[in-house]
Structure 1
Amino acid sequence: MTDSRALASPRALISGVTGQDGHYLAARLIEAGITVHGVVGPSRSVESVSAPGFVGHELDLTDAAQVRALVADVAPQHVFHLAGLSSVGRSWTDPVATVDVNAVSVTAVLDACLQFQDETGDPISVVNASSAEVFAGSSESPQDESTAIAPTSPYGVSKALGHMMCQVYRRRGLQATNAILYNHESPRRPATFVTRKITAAAAAIAAGEQDRLTLGNLSLRRDWGWAPDYVDAMYRMALHGKGDDFVVATGESHSVAEFVETAFAAVGITDWRAHVEIDDELNRPADSADMVGDATRARDVLGWQPTKTFEQIVTSMVNADRRQEQNS
């Protein structure tokens, strides 16, 4: 077994390293002089991540034996569990896989870290990417760490189970923290998410490459933040020194219609409704009408705060999509 105390560089293990948050987190940790070990599933590749101080691993995170072997080999000081099926909509079409991947993987990671800690005496901090969706059925607004867990989708249930497992392992002595992340965006957000669908369409329509944008419910309201800010919050959680739960949010909610209006304004289109059509088939069952988080604890305890406004986030995404349109 690797003796973590004898290794020169601090090490972090990130699951889901090729995702939006994994990308920004890996860069942040490497910049801080931390060697990053990144994990993706067997069907994906870590080749897209290439940087000094990065080591890639491909394995099944629902396989407890594989996860235990990896943690023992890497001997990380910090583990960030970001991997999972992240689409609320897809969770309705494949609920079994969603619960299996999201809930089992976090349990495997937590158990492997506790076993390693118990065997070696070397403490590990674990930051689990929880979700605002665990509060989706709550009547309380805004939501904070004391809000009752009340998911309304298979995705929310899967994240709630991982969230509670994190609390269970914390009580067993593991420095395990839930990062309760509200919606957070960037140019690295996949086009399967409505935010990137909107910004990509605004850029394409402005360039004359697309005519229409088809959306579902425009009145839904979400608390949208900037992904690098939320990664900064998780980094602070890892260094906090003890496990806890932290809501990461801006405290402001905006409707999908506002997101569309802001995106189209960024490309000089004022009459955005002329380019948008509504398809009720895109509406998801049991979507919460308004989700907004209270991140007071993260601000007070971690010294964290968001750096970009809603308008800056949307404009940054649109500008990135416009550059992509120009280069294609």
Structure 2
Amino acid sequence: MSGKALITGSEGFVGKYLQAELASNGYEIIRADIVSGPGVHSINLLDEGNVRELVSAEQPDVIFHLAAQADVGKSWKQPQATMQMNVTAAINVMEAVRAVKGKQAAILMVGSSDQYGNLGEAGASVSEETGMRPQSPYAVSKRAQEEMAKLYAKAYGLRICMTRSFNHGGAGQRTGFMIPDFASGIVRIERGESDCLLVGNLTARRDFTHVRDVVRAYRLIAEKGQPGEIYNVGSGKTYSAQEVLDSLISMAKCEVPVRQDPSRLRPSDTPVICCDHSKLTRDTGWEPELPMERILTDTLEYYRGLNA
């Protein structure tokens, strides 16, 4: 496909990797984010006119809509802001595409496996046909974003593909997610800045994919995905939090005392959620390539390099 690609949320964790993936495959990249910087269009996605101006001026071939309020905890404290950022912003992007005179951009709308919620043991193999039980304002907002995208694809003929992306990681991911929390905590202990790693529930099993594999999936969906379709993006392999922790501790440069913190326990934690990516593989040929160990080493080395 190549051509001109607009990335919303271009300066975030995934956005930076997507820039590299697209650049290496011949795309011209338009960067758009709430933050400003050289070569970045500083944009408020809640300003419909601002979004229309950018899309009209740049005339992208494809829009990767990554920008989101993705903090589950924050979504409980700021549900209105979460719905605005994750639903209203997406509507503004779709309306901007509708309003363009001339070529209409294809859109990749990024959703989350959080939309599935707590499936119990049924989470052992989750396909796009699996029922959804969103259990946080964040998950509800992503479900609403997806429903609006499906509606716009059907009602207006917009070329929209949607994802339900499972956990992903790698160098540069901020704390607030399990692997960066473990890795940064281990680094603090290595530096003598902490004497113990506090943890929550270690039995839950999650599907993890390297962010480089995820952005490759996004590119392939944009190029080969079927408009109006939803694609699970995940590795199809699960690891318990205990297994992740043990692997990271085995890479540590010192002993790592661990203590369970009751405040980190979440009774609603789903016991297991594993991605069935067969639809994605069938339509695009995508398969995960980088192993779990690469996510862990990349993340640990990233935090070792911070303020070194």
TM-score, length-normalised on structure 2? 0.92
Equivalent runs, 1:41-190 vs 2, <5 Å = 41=34, 44-47=35-38, 55-116=39-100, 119-120=101-102, 122-139=103-120, 140-141=122-123, 142-171=125-154, 172-190=156-174
Q: Which amino acid aligns with 2:143?
A: A
Identity %: 28
Taking the aligned partners of 1:277 and 1:89, their CA distance within structure 2 comes to: 22
Q: Which amino acid aligns with 2:231?
A: F
Matched, 1:229 2:213: yes
User: Hey, what does 2:24 align to over in structure 1?
Assistant: 31
Aligned counterpart in structure 2 of residue 20 of structure 1, from 13, 22, 37:
13
The total of aligned residue pairs comes to 303
Q: Which amino acid aligns with 1:231?
A: V
Taking the aligned partners of 2:163 and 2:118, their CA distance within structure 1 comes to: 19
Taking the aligned partners of 2:133 and 2:26, their CA distance within structure 1 comes to: 39
SS of aligned partner of 2:273: coil
Taking the aligned partners of 1:248 and 1:36, their CA distance within structure 2 comes to: 23
Kindly indicate whether the alpha-carbon contact (under 8 Å) linking 2:182 and 2:245 is maintained by their aligned counterparts in 1. Answer: yes
Taking the aligned partners of 2:285 and 2:189, their CA distance within structure 1 comes to: 41
Matched, 1:311 2:296: no
SS of aligned partner of 2:67: coil
Q: Which segments of 5 or more consecutive residues in structure 1 lack a partner in the other structure?
A: 1-8, 48-54
User: Hey, what does 2:258 align to over in structure 1?
Assistant: 276
SS of aligned partner of 2:64: strand
Kindly indicate whether the alpha-carbon contact (under 8 Å) linking 2:225 and 2:284 is maintained by their aligned counterparts in 1. Answer: no
Q: Which amino acid aligns with 2:136?
A: S
Taking the aligned partners of 1:170 and 1:284, their CA distance within structure 2 comes to: 37
Instruction: Give the CA RMSD over aligned residues.
Output: 1.9
Once the 2 structures are TM-superposed, how far is the Cα of residue 39 of structure 1 from its aligned partner? 1.3
CA 1:254–1:97 in structure 2 vs 1: closer, same or farther (change >3 Å)? Answer: same
Taking the aligned partners of 1:45 and 1:186, their CA distance within structure 2 comes to: 24
Once the 2 structures are TM-superposed, how far is the Cα of residue 131 of structure 1 from its aligned partner? 0.3
Larger RCO (CA within 8 A; separation ≥ 6): 2
Once the 2 structures are TM-superposed, how far is the Cα of residue 284 of structure 1 from its aligned partner? 4.3
